[in-house]
Amino acid sequence: MTLTHPDARSWAEARSASETPRLGLLEAVACQAHPEVVATFGRDGAAIAELLGRRTPSRVRRALTGIAVALAIAALIAPVAGVSVLGAESYLIDRIPAETSVPIAAVCFVVAALVLLVTGVLWVRSGARWSGMVCGIGAVSALCGLFSSISMPTVSGRDGYDLSTIMQIPVWATLVLGLVLTVATARRYRVRDPEPEIAPLTPTTMSERLVAERAARSIPEVERAAILADRDDALRILAGRGLLDEATVTRALAAPLGTLFVLDERATDG
């Protein structure tokens, strides 16, 4: 994965005049072609290295994700469409006869029931933790199933349509599965994903500074010189915009590559 800014210069130019730039982050951006080196640049470097280490999803994975999103949207629409087609009658829309609306509604509820079943299985396999989205899908589906279980016989009787039990089974299944999913997720309201542990902030030690400096020296000399020039130009850009004072810029320009994060922590301590 790549960062938004390809080099430290563009990063420095994009800084807002209201923020205090972090020098360790600047140097991490400059060295982004070497995540293993960036990882030694303090907390900011470790965060950037983790970001750089994330793989960009493949085309197949992106396509599958798109299909999954499309199916999820269709799944939410299906029960609503099913109950709507049975009651579609207004000044703008002519009443749909039962011989057309009932089969369409039945197909919509078949889709809704199948999706509820799959959603429930995936929810259980993922740990059965509280999910507002899963609970909402269940509740909406159950309400649509309840309304349609009443309106489907009513519409059929009004139009003299011979309503078979097969047409009603998907509606009943959606009602039951939606209700079960809603109750099940609601009972797991207190079961949440664990909060991430935040490590306490600790001052940088001399050994950590030396590790970072040595890691930066492992970059090939020609490339290291280009990275250092990019870093120093970015520092001058920040100084020219008034985001760094002269004393800080002087110390930063004199610091070996890979050690600017130490200046950040000294500034915080001060």
Backbone angles phi, psi at 244, to 5 degrees: -130, 140
**The residue to which tokens 């079961």 are assigned:** 191
Low-confidence residues in the chain, pLDDT < 70: 1-2, 55-58, 61, 64, 68, 71-72, 74-75, 88-94, 193-206, 266-270
pLDDT given for residue 198 in this prediction: 42
Helices 23-30, 260-269: crossing angle, 10 deg rounding: 170
SS (H, E, C) the chain: CCCCCCCHHHHHHCCCCCCCCCHHHHHHHHCCCCHHHHCCCHHHHHHHHHHHHCCCCCHHHHHHHHHHHHHHHHHHHHHHHHHHHHCCCCCCCCCCCHHHHHHHHHHHHHHHHHHHHHHHHHHHHCCCCCCHHHHHHHHHHHHHHHHHHHHHHHHHHHHCCCCCHHHHHHHHHHHHHHHHHHHHHHHCCCCCCCCCCCCCCCCCCHHHHHHHHHHHHCCCHHHHHHHHHHHHHHHHHHHHCCCCCHHHHHHHHHCCCCCHHHHHHHHHHC
The pLDDT value recorded for residue 133 is: 85
Residue-level pLDDT at 199: 45
Q: What is the pLDDT of residue 90?
A: 41
Tokens of residue 116, six digits: 């509820």
pLDDT at 196: 45
Question: What residue type is assigned to position 216 of the chain?
Answer: A
Yes or no: say if 265 and 204 are a contact pair by the CB < 8 Å rule.
Answer: yes
Every domain of the chain and the residues it spans = 8-55+205-269, 68-187
For residue 130, what pLDDT is reported? 92
Asked whether the whole model's pTM tops 0.75, one would answer: no
Distance between terminal CA atoms of the chain?
35
CB 239 within 8 A of CB 249: yes
pLDDT at residue 191, rounded to an integer:
85
Q: Report pLDDT for 38.
A: 92
Q: What distance in Å separates the CA atoms of residue 30 and residue 225, rounded to the nearest whole number?
A: 11
